Amino acid sequence: MLKEKIKSTVSSLLENKQVDFVIGYGAGSDAGTVRPTFVKAVEEVQELIWSPFAVNNLAKYVMDHLYENIKIGVIVKGCDSRSVVRLVQDKVFPRENFYVIGVPCKGILDKNKVARDFDLSGEFVDFVEQGDNVVVKTTKGDITIPREKYLMDKCYRCETPTPVVYDVLLGEEIAPFRRDNYEDVKNLESLSVEEKSKYWDKQFEKCIRCYACRNVCSACNCRDCVFDMAEPNWVGKAANLSENTAFHLIRAWHVAGRCVDCGECSRVCPMGIPVNTLNRKLIKDMKELFSVETPGKNPEQGAVLGSFRTDDPEEFM
């Protein structure tokens, strides 16, 4: 059972002082919600769970301990593991200070999709896989969810079901079995300029400049963010269409070549803006122009816009 493997792995890491603490998932406010849980003592290990709703990318939390030279254990799925690569490549956190606990994953349930058809309002007790179904046990009863119908959108196009880096893998490797055809990006590319403009105006008008997308992003790892600068005031603090558009487009360009397409930005947005689509457009373009893989998927691949190759089409830059 994955939960037991997690607990025994983490207990052993803590007992042997291989890590200072571990970041995993604990139970949240309802059956469809998990909560990042930080465990530094063996007594706390029993708070750790696994859940078919364990969506949060936990890797970036290491940035709260930048100069402490401590070792941190992090539980990661395939998408999250690309963030580990990101943080290491950007020299934000050394690889040797990570203890990466990899969990192979065929897809995470989308609690918003599930909540439309099932009652998730009870507390999470446990879950079990039953063929094509996930049976979630809650304090308000068991719910049987046909897995493939209720995944996060990003999971249907996941090309790394097995973490790309790990110090220990809690489960059998899963060979990639899905393809990302960038349908969401292509749908927007097919619109006219006027239609695209109207679409993004509508999205950016909703933006409340909470900066959740930036704060959750592991590619947004600058010590001093351009959007926090008052002097010069690159992008004003007023939440209007003009400033909001500038924020989103500038951020997309700042992470271009480094975004690992983990999808957290879209998930955290309180206004339902498909932030990730901007990043995916840039990734798709880069794949076509430079024949690279999704950043973070291959630890050997350097930063797309930050590496010089002798076969670059342009001699300068």
Partner 1 sequence: MRKGYILKDKLFPWLEAIRAKYPLIAPVQEDGLSLFKEVEKVSDIVLDYGITRMPPKDLFFPQTEKMFRIKNKNNMAVELETPEKITDEQVLFGVHSCDLKSILALDPVFTTRFPDRYYQERRDKTYVIGLSCQKALPTCFCTAYGITPTAYEGADLHLTELGDKYLVEVVTERGERLVAAVPGVVFEGTESLEAEKEKLTAKVAAEIKPVDITGVKEVLDANFELPLWEKWAQKCLGCGICTYVCPTCHCFDINDFNRGDGVGERFRCWDSCMFSDFTRMAGGHNPRPSKKERVRNRFMHKLKYHLDRYNLVGCVGCGRCVQRCPENIDIRAIISDIKGGV
Q: Tell me which DSSP letter residue 72 carries.
A: E
Task: Write down the least CB distance from residue 35 to partner 1, Å.
Answer: 4
Tell me whether strands 72-76 and 98-102 are parallel, antiparallel or unpaired: parallel
Residue 26 in tokens = 């604990």
- What beta strand segments (E) does 112-255 contain? 124-130, 133-138, 141-146, 168-169
Task: Write down the least CB distance from residue 29 to partner 1, Å.
Answer: 5
Rule CB under 8 A: which residues touch partner 1?
Answer: 28-30, 33-38, 56, 61, 64, 121, 202, 206, 208-212, 214-216, 228, 230, 233, 236-240, 264, 267-268, 270-272
Q: Which CB, 37 or 162, lies closer to partner 1?
A: 37
Q: Which CB, 26 or 302, lies closer to partner 1?
A: 26
Q: H or E element: which one contains 25?
A: strand 21-27
Q: Is the dihedral of CA 307, 310, 312, 317 positive or negative?
A: positive
Q: Which CB, 171 or 272, lies closer to partner 1?
A: 272
Q: Which CB, 37 or 277, lies closer to partner 1?
A: 37
Task: Write down the least CB distance from residue 121 to partner 1, Å.
Answer: 4
Amino acid identity for residue 169 in this structure: L
Task: Write down the least CB distance from residue 162 to partner 1, Å.
Answer: 25
Q: Which CB, 119 or 285, lies closer to partner 1?
A: 119
The answer to whether residues 295 and 259 touch, using CB atoms and an 8 Å cutoff, is yes
The answer to whether residues 71 and 19 touch, using CB atoms and an 8 Å cutoff, is yes
Q: How far apart are CA 53 and CA 107, in angstroms?
A: 9
Residue 167 in tokens = 């110090």
Task: Write down the least CB distance from residue 187 to partner 1, Å.
Answer: 16
Q: Which CB, 141 or 236, lies closer to partner 1?
A: 236
Task: Write down the least CB distance from residue 46 to partner 1, Å.
Answer: 16
Q: Which CB, 274 or 302, lies closer to partner 1?
A: 274
What is the three-class DSSP state of 294?
coil
Task: Write down the least CB distance from residue 28 to partner 1, Å.
Answer: 4
Burial class (CB in 10 A: 0-12, 13-18, 19+), 190: exposed
Residue 120 in tokens = 């998730």
